[in-house]
Amino acid sequence: MGKVTPLKLAVLVSGGGSNLQAIIDACKASDYPAEIVLVFSNQPDAGGLERARRAGIRAEAISHKGFEGGREAYDSTVSGLIEHSGADLVVLAGYLRLVSESFVTRWQGRLINIHPSLLPSFKGLHVHQAALDAGVKYSGCTVHYVVPEVDSGPIIAQAVVPVLPGDDAGALAQRILKQEHRLYPQVIRWIAEGRVSTNDAGIVTVADAAAPDFAQINPVLEPH
Ligand code: GRF
């Protein structure tokens, strides 16, 4: 049997790119069914670009600041770059820029994002502080398909962490980020393996995913 053709990824970043790094590392395994063909940033000094170049991956940046023609024109240029790269799936990994409706429509069903909360709770920015302020006992991260409404598309998978006494936003962010680095490469694998499907109601299922049958209580109940 021949080797399965890897799914081609375009990864869009604006910052340090630790999620990008997790995907780069996952792609190094010989049995990982995806490869990165393009890393793009709207920030020419994004750390993620350097991570890509170090790994020998094509890295491009176009600053959105002062770009002629506004968001639509910018996004259409980005779409063109992605198309030219041959990517099958567009992966937003800390891409801190709202994408236009036409960009979403162009890539819908092939455009995913990771968000550091358990959606639909805590959409938008400053999510860790919002979770702490709400007093939730668990938070986590969500990988979802992107739709025009921000942080609202079909949920593919989530990872959950406890909120611990004394947490500040930074501590919670770090605990969640560790799980992001596990979750994102896992979801990309599932998509590459053709196991992810969405029904008409926007509910995603992953074929043959192990379903845990346990529940956890936080704080842990003391025996009495
Ligand atoms: C992550 O927390 C991600 O969930 C959010 O932006 C952050 C990006 O971090 N969308 P990094 O650039 O991958 O380190």
pLDDT tens by residue, 84-129:
999 999 999 999 999 999 999 999 999 999 999 999 999 999 999 9
Residue ranges with strand state E in the chain: 7-13, 34-41, 59-61, 89-92, 111-115, 138-145, 155-162, 196-198, 204-206
Q: What is the pLDDT of residues 16-63, one digit of tens each?
A: 999 999 999 999 999 999 999 999 999 999 999 999 999 999 999 999
Report the predicted TM-score, pTM, of the whole model to 2 decimal places: 0.96
Q: What is the pLDDT of residues 182-206, one digit of tens each?
A: 999 999 999 999 999 999 999 999 9
What is the best residue among 41, 114, 179 to mutate for testing ligand 1's pocket, by most ligand atoms within 8 Å of CB?
Answer: 114
Pick the residue whose CA is nearest to atom 5 on ligand 1: 94
- The reply to whether 115 belongs to the active site is yes
